[in-house]
Amino acid sequence: MTIGVMGNSLALLVKVLCRGKFCCHYWFPFMSLTLSDLGSCLLLISTSMLTILTGGQKSPWCEVATLLKFAFVSSSIGSIAVLCVQRSIGINSIDGAIFVVMVTACLASWVTGVVFGSIPIVYAWIRYDPAETLCTVFWESSYSDMLVYNLCAFSICIFFPLLLIFGYSIMMATGCHFSESNEAEDLSTVTPLLGSCCMICYTPFFVSELILLAKMDLSPAPDFLRTLSTILSYLDCGLNPLIYFSHQDFREAGLTLLWNKRKPMSAVPVLTAITKYKL
């Protein structure tokens, strides 16, 4: 939580205050991803720590935490997917109709997360899960409801963005991408690391959902897998700002923001100019 809050806060300040000191064409998905990670570190990780200390979670924060979890997961994966698409298209995606589509896609990832997080709250499918140290959706009566809801949520919020990230990774590996050569110093060069980290950290979550779909008795995935999915999803929020700072120009901008102070005026006279006179 400490690394995530400090890292994402600093990354957000650098992106806002030092935009002229590093190249970043695709700023909107980066801002969306940073806000998502910062919100997760501030609200969800702290909530998990509190539930461990108190032994549970009560309403209404139980429902609020579930809604936030859906929103942050959906927006995080969606923002990386949009970044991958923009990186593949190139600088043509920062102007005109394509840029509007990219911004709409980022906002849609937040909206879909809120929508799918609200449905379990409306139907009272939420209760506390000690394995995940958060309130989550539990299915006790209807396999068909679970199947329809999970397939819709997984397909829209998870599978489609993950497919875009995976496709971008394949394109980068084979060299079949459309980025311009002058984008070599852009912050978006960290996109492959962001996509790889996202896919690795959310793999336990994907597996636990697939196990749930395969069980007709509605029993959840094993406890250790659900705990691992929570830990790695939190880890992803803390690793992303470290990935940003692996970019040299972004790192230098951050160090400048932290340590660049005005030097006091020296009492010793300093030569500042020379005037030549012809005799």
Position 73 confidence tier, pLDDT thresholds 50, 70, 90: very high
Nearest Cα neighbor of 105 from 132, 86, 124, 123 is: 86
Instruction: Give the CATH superfamily of 2-259.
Output: Rhodopsin 7-helix transmembrane proteins (1.20.1070.10)
Buried-state track 241-264, b at ≥16 Cβ within 10 A, e below 16: bebbbebebbeebbeeeeeeeeee
Beta carbons of 137 and 209 less than 8 angstroms apart: no
- Which pLDDT value is given to residue 176? 63
Q: Which tens digit of pLDDT belongs to each residue from 53-66?
A: 888 778 888 889 89
pLDDT of 267 higher than 60: no
Q: How far apart are CA 156 and CA 139, in angstroms?
A: 20
Res 12 pLDDT > 60: yes
Q: Is the pLDDT of residue 181 over 50?
A: no
Average the pLDDT over 7-22 and give the result: 86
CA distance 242 to 276: 53
Q: Of the ranges 33-37, 88-92, 255-259, which is most confident?
A: 33-37
pTM attached to this predicted model = 0.84
The whole-number average pLDDT for the span 20-31 is 86
Residue 43 pLDDT class (50, 70, 90 cuts): very high
> Is the pLDDT at 124 greater than 90, yes or no?
no
The amino acid at residue 193 is L
Domain segments of the chain: what residues? 2-259
In 3D space, the residue among 209, 70, 47, 58 whose CA is nearest the CA of residue 127 turns out to be 58
Identity of residue 44:
L
Give the separation between CA 273 and CA 254, rounded to whole angstroms: 33
- Alpha-carbon gap, residue 243 to 229, rounded angstroms: 21
